Structure 1
Amino acid sequence: MRRRSLLLTVPAGLATLAACGDDKSDSSKASDSPSPSASGPSAAPSPKIVDGPLPQVTAGTEFDEKPTVAKGSGEPSKDLAVKTLIAGSGKTVAENDFVVANYLGQVWNTGKVFDNSYDRKARLAIQLTQGQIIDGWRYALAGRKAGSRVEMAVPPTWGYGTQGNAQAGIKGTDTLVFVVDIQDAFNATSSAKGKEVPQDNADLPKVGTNTDGKAPSIEVPKTAAPKKLVAEYVLEGDGEEVAAENSVLVQYKGVLWDGGKEFDSSYANKQLVSFSLQQVVKGWAQGLTGKKVGSRVLIVIPPELGYGDNPPQGSGIKKDSVLVFSVDILAKL
């Protein structure tokens, strides 16, 4: 089981951290609504993919517009039915990628919508990996391109199985219909792609500007650490600005000001991280608010906005440490 990000293990009372559940919670936005997240690894065989039958999308037919989908007619296929309704031209989605998407899900035979991200105005970021997402999504979305709208009908075998999903009102015999608008896809080698911003202040750490998916260097100066939060662009993207209530998908690396030792890194873990800005240390929440998607940001966090005198056990972080981060904002959710 992979190690959780230290950012999400803040001692109680020292940051705006909500309960995050188990290790899977890093890869999808916390929500009371059911999502396509899997309840555990599947032993189901690979499905045969067919092109129908599929219910008609009767309204909201444009990409990223909330769809209205007709009730299923007749018996659904026992195979996985998949159709690209709108063909995108972005990057091709691969197994193990993080997919950022809006989606709507409903039950075939009743037309009951059990979940949709459009009304929440919060896109989903979820990894196409066995045990993280239902198999129907894994097989249906792999090979599709960002910018595509995909409709699928998922039989129980590749959905929630014979146990169904009581929270969503899904029975173990229900075939599920999803419409998915693929916004983008990322993997462990994804980087920010913004415009380089001069790093002229010799009293601040200098961050590498490589965009090859490898961890950037962080050179900490041999000067006194700043007393206040620092959050400056290294690469400035041209995407949407991140708001305090948003969630983000990021790559990051963290080192100590004192000595420059690395203590945490998504690059080293080979795992992107997504989280709400209301679930992380205050320095991250404040430092990323207002920054643009596609950017690399230098954040220097004083102890009172980080871990203070109670750092996570086994982290290698001493009490009252100043923390230095390079953060690539890949997507706003």
Structure 2
Amino acid sequence: MRRRSVLIAVPAGLVTLAGCGDDGSDSGNASGSASPSASASSSAPPPPKIVDGPLPAITAGTKFDEKPTVAKGSGEPSDQLAVKTVIAGGGTTVAENDYVQANYLGQIWDTATVFDNSYDRGAPLVIQLAAGSIIDGWRYALAGKKAGSRVEMSVPPTWGYGTSGNEQAGIKGTDTLVFVVDIQNAYNSKSSAKGTDVAQDNVDLPKVGTNTDGKAPAITVPKSDPPTDLVANYVIEGDGVELAAEDSVLVQYKGVLWDTGKEFDSSYSRDALTSFSLQQVVKGWSQGLTGKKVGSRVLIVVPPALGYGDQPPEGSGIAKDSTLVFSVDILAKM
């Protein structure tokens, strides 16, 4: 399992897709490092005042997405949230509750001890800027920044890990933390696949809309018998990395019934993106998305044996032995 930052909370599975995976393994558990995932504090502190400094110098690795070296903090850090845009990007503006994809390095103000960085792992962090998902320092510091930006911040305990600190990372309850964050991308409920349209010329398969305006694509099911085998075809082919069977993903999706074309589940309808592990969903999803590229829109037709068979979720509107049809936009690998 890939080493993951402890900034991450365990991703929630899909309401109608979770619970029918192969086993109970959880690739979302953090281990071996400390990152900005939320602490278990019982009450949220008031919002901090955003100040300009002081902030330690970045002495090496000064380019965007290059691993930085940061000097030790000088003097006393601010008791508020110090934030500086070191490099201004021109991409999507980040808002609270958006997901960000970012590389980052975190160290302790007093000692310059690095307690976590994603650069050495070779995989950026994808996490939601939401209360309970990430430390408040990140939530407040990154809101309003643009993708393509490098942001430096100093986070006092109040908006970090609180008075309990983070023992796993060697962070005491009195430590102010310094982060350098390179925001690669941002995703919200209007995000869509980005890539090249792929011909949908099989008349016996559903047709999926190719709009990329953040609205749910249309799914047109043919008046024919459903396939008996799993179908997983590109509708839009992105150029990102290929997903492995143990990966977690951030997606937009819509599901309809083959027999009626009726929608039974959709992230678009909830106006919220969904993240999950490919090991925690029905086999049709885990098998259908494995090997597909990030940035793509995929048509998945799930026969009953790889879906819910004769045990559909109660209240889902899915009848026994239903064939399910999905459009899935793979926005990011978590």
Normalized against structure 2, the TM-score is what? 0.87
**What is aligned with 1:249?**
250
Stretch deviating more after TM superposition (183-192 or 49-58): 49-58
Q: CA deviation at 1:253?
A: 0.9
Match of 1:184 in 2: 185
1:326 is displaced (CA, Å) by 0.4
Say if 1:41 and 1:131, in contact at 8 Å, map to a contact too. no
Identity among equivalent positions (%) equals 74
AA of the residue aligned to 1:36: P
* 1:199-229 residue CA offsets vs partner (Å, 9 max, x unmatched): 2211111112222212112122221111111
AA aligned opposite 1:5: L
2:15 is aligned, of 6, 20, 24, to 6
Tell me which residue corresponds to 2:126. 125
The SS at the match of 2:232 is: strand
Which residue pairs with 1:15 in the alignment?
22
Matched, 1:72 2:43: no
Q: Report if aligned partners of 1:42, 1:135 keep a CA contact under 8 Å in 2.
A: no
Structure 1 distance, partners of 2:25, 2:272, is: 21
Deviation, 1:183, is 0.9
Q: After TM superposition, list the pairs within 5 Å mapping 1:186-205 onto structure 2.
A: 186-205=187-206
Structure 1 residues 306 and 117: CA distance shift in structure 2, 3 A? farther
- Write the distance in 2 (CA, Å) between the matches of 1:287 and 1:208: 19
Report the Cα distance in structure 2 between the residues aligned to 1:67 and 1:280, rounded to whole angstroms.
Answer: 38
- Matches of 1:107 and 1:309, distance apart in 2: 54
CA shift, 1:266, in A, is 1.0
Shift of 1:304: 2.8
Give me the whole-angstrom Cα distance separating, in 1, the residues matched to 2:43 and 2:130: 11
3-state secondary structure, aligned to 1:250: strand
User: What's the CA shift string for 1:44-84, capped at 9, x where partnerless?
Assistant: 23222222222233333332233333332221111211122
1:59-98 to 2 correspondences below 5 Å: 59-98=60-99
Give the superposition deviation at 1:251. Answer: 0.4
**Stretch of structure 1 that moved more, 138-147 or 233-242:** 233-242
CA distance in 2, matches of 1:102, 1:247: 17
Q: Whole-Å Cα distance in 2 between the matches of residues 182 and 118 of structure 1?
A: 13
Q: Given the superposition, is the C-alpha separation of residues 173 and 207 from structure 1 closer, same or farther in structure 2, using an over 3 Å criterion? A: same
Cα RMSD (Å): 2.3
Question: Aligned with 2:163: secondary structure?
Answer: helix
3-state secondary structure, aligned to 1:170: coil
Q: Return the offset for 1:189.
A: 1.4
User: Residue 17 and residue 255 in structure 1: after superposition, are their counterparts in 2 closer, same or farther (change >3 A)?
Assistant: farther
Name 2:217's counterpart in structure 1.
Answer: 216
> Equivalent residue for 1:312?
313
**Contact 2:14 / 2:276 at 8 angstroms: preserved in 1?**
no
- Tell me, in whole angstroms, the C-alpha distance in 1 between the residues paired with 2:217 and 2:326: 10
Number of residues paired by the alignment? 321
Contiguous gaps of at least 5 residues in structure 2: 1-11
In the other structure, the counterpart of 2:36 is 36
Change (3 A) 1:128 1:168: same
CA separation of 1:65 and 1:81: change in aligned 2, threshold 3 A: same
Deviations 1:246-284 (A, max 9, x none): 332110111222222322211122211123333333322
Match of 1:280? 281
Deviation at 1:8, TM superposition (A): 5.3
Question: Would the alpha carbon gap of residues 40 and 126 (structure 1) be closer, same or farther in structure 2, given more than 3 Å must change?
Answer: farther
- TM-score, with structure 1 as normaliser: 0.87
Select between 190-199 and 92-101 the one with higher mean Cα deviation. 190-199
Partners of 2:41 and 2:162 within 8 A in 1:
no
Structure 2 equivalent of residue 25 of structure 1: none
Q: 2:330 is paired with a residue of what secondary structure? A: strand
- On the 8 A contact 1:16/1:282 being kept in 2, the answer is no
Structure 1 pair 235–289 and aligned structure 2 pair: CA distance change class (3 A): same
